[in-house]
Amino acid sequence: MSDTKIALVTGANKGIGYEIAAGLGALGWSVGVGAREQIRRDAAVARLRDAGVDAFGVPLDVTDDSSVAAAADLIAERAGRLDALVNNAGITGGGPQQPSSVDAAVIRTVVETNVIGVIRVTNAMLPLLGRSASPRIVNMSSSVGSLARQSGPGGETSTGPVAVAYAPSKSFLNAVTLQYVRELADTNILINCACPGFVATDLNGFRGVRTPQEGAATAIRLATLPDGGPTGGFFEDAGVVPW
Ligand SMILES: NC(=O)c1ccc[n+]([C@@H]2O[C@H](COP(=O)([O-])OP(=O)(O)OC[C@H]3O[C@@H](n4cnc5c(N)ncnc54)[C@H](OP(=O)(O)O)[C@@H]3O)[C@@H](O)[C@H]2O)c1
């Protein structure tokens, strides 16, 4: 087995996920570019390789059991293990998302991707993570899912607009993350949530104020934590995000 560290980043064909892949690649990691659509995936892999990254494409739709199982097989064949899983793929479900008028189908779709998708991918990759000397899982959350911030002062400036599918999906993801932390407490897997800040990407019609590169920094830090680093935390660039 190679000494080169191996990562899988879901939703890595664009936005923050692409920059997480680029950042890990710049550190010398081999990076699986998880992406569901072939043309976008191939283009991202080509761009990363042009930049000197050891990138490889991983066909991956996080809502599809067979796609996720095939992705695990691909990484097992290629590398035999996984050192970092970055669960980055996510959707907002579109808007507006007022609680009193939301279509329940929007909530189901968002939860299927942002929460169940993470569980599906994580469970498929756990055996490969178990073969790493220093496994890491990073779940791309958002401070909009922080119940502490939503219930504190600051309103929209700290947690974004009312969005009854998207924001609670990130609270749900945070809660799910802590369940994994508890179950896997006697392993060496470090599992944390990251918030990238408000980043200009397709997700928000490029209204964000940070670059995707800036948004990738916390996830890269958490994917490359030294042994003995934190687990069960929620972090942004400025430090800890309250749950
Ligand atoms: N941008 C922000 O301000 C912000 C703030 C807080 C948290 N976040 C989180 O950061 C993460 C990345 O978001 P982004 O801003 O970079 O958004 P983005 O540019 O829209 O990228 C989202 C990525 O997720 C992929 N994806 C969506 N559904 C998928 C599925 N079923 N299977 C596989 N991939 C799927 C997309 O693939 P396609 O190209 O195929 O659609 C795309 O690669 C998300 O989890 C988001 O919630 C973003």
Asked if 170 is an active-site residue, the reply is yes
- In the reported structure, the alpha carbon of residue 88 is separated from the centroid of ligand 1 by a whole-number distance in angstroms of 6
Banded model confidence at residue 156, pLDDT cuts 50, 70, 90: low
Query: How confident is the model at residue 159, as a pLDDT?
Result: 80
Q: Select from 16, 87, 173 the residue to mutate for testing ligand 1; criterion: most ligand atoms less than 8 Å from CB.
A: 16
- Which atom of ligand 1 is least distant from the CA of 144? 6
* Nearest alpha carbon to residue 121 among 134, 140, 148, 98: 140
Whether 17 lines ligand 1, by a CB cut-off of 6 Å, is yes
Banded model confidence at residue 165, pLDDT cuts 50, 70, 90: very high
Torsional class of 11: left (φ above 0), alpha (ψ -120 to 50), beta (otherwise):
left
Q: Kindly give the pairing relationship between strand 234-236 and strand 190-194.
A: parallel
Asked if 166 is an active-site residue, the reply is yes
- The mean per-residue pLDDT over the stretch 222-226 comes to 98
In terms of DSSP H, where are the helices of the chain? 15-26, 38-50, 65-78, 104-111, 117-129, 147-151, 156-159, 166-183, 212-223
Q: Is the pLDDT of residue 155 over 70?
A: no
Query: How confident is the model at residue 67, as a pLDDT?
Result: 98
pLDDT digits (tens, 9 = 90+) for 89-117: 999 999 899 999 999 999 999 999 999 99
Residues 6+ positions from 81 with CB-CB distance below 8 Å: 1, 6, 128, 129, 131, 132
Query: How confident is the model at residue 61, as a pLDDT?
Result: 98
How far is 152 from 174, CA to CA, in rounded Å? 18
Query: How confident is the model at residue 2, as a pLDDT?
Result: 79
Q: How many residues does the chain have?
A: 243
Q: Is the pLDDT of residue 183 over 90?
A: yes
Query: How confident is the model at residue 208, as a pLDDT?
Result: 96
Query: How confident is the model at residue 114, as a pLDDT?
Result: 98
Taking each continuous run of H as one helix and of E as one strand, the counts in the chain are 9, 8
How far is 204 from 208, CA to CA, in rounded Å? 7
Q: Is the pLDDT of residue 45 over 70?
A: yes
5 φ, ψ to 5°?
-70, 145
Query: How confident is the model at residue 157, as a pLDDT?
Result: 61
Query: How confident is the model at residue 81, as a pLDDT?
Result: 98
Query: How confident is the model at residue 95, as a pLDDT?
Result: 86
Banded model confidence at residue 153, pLDDT cuts 50, 70, 90: confident
- Which atom of ligand 1 is least distant from the CA of 12? 43
Banded model confidence at residue 190, pLDDT cuts 50, 70, 90: very high
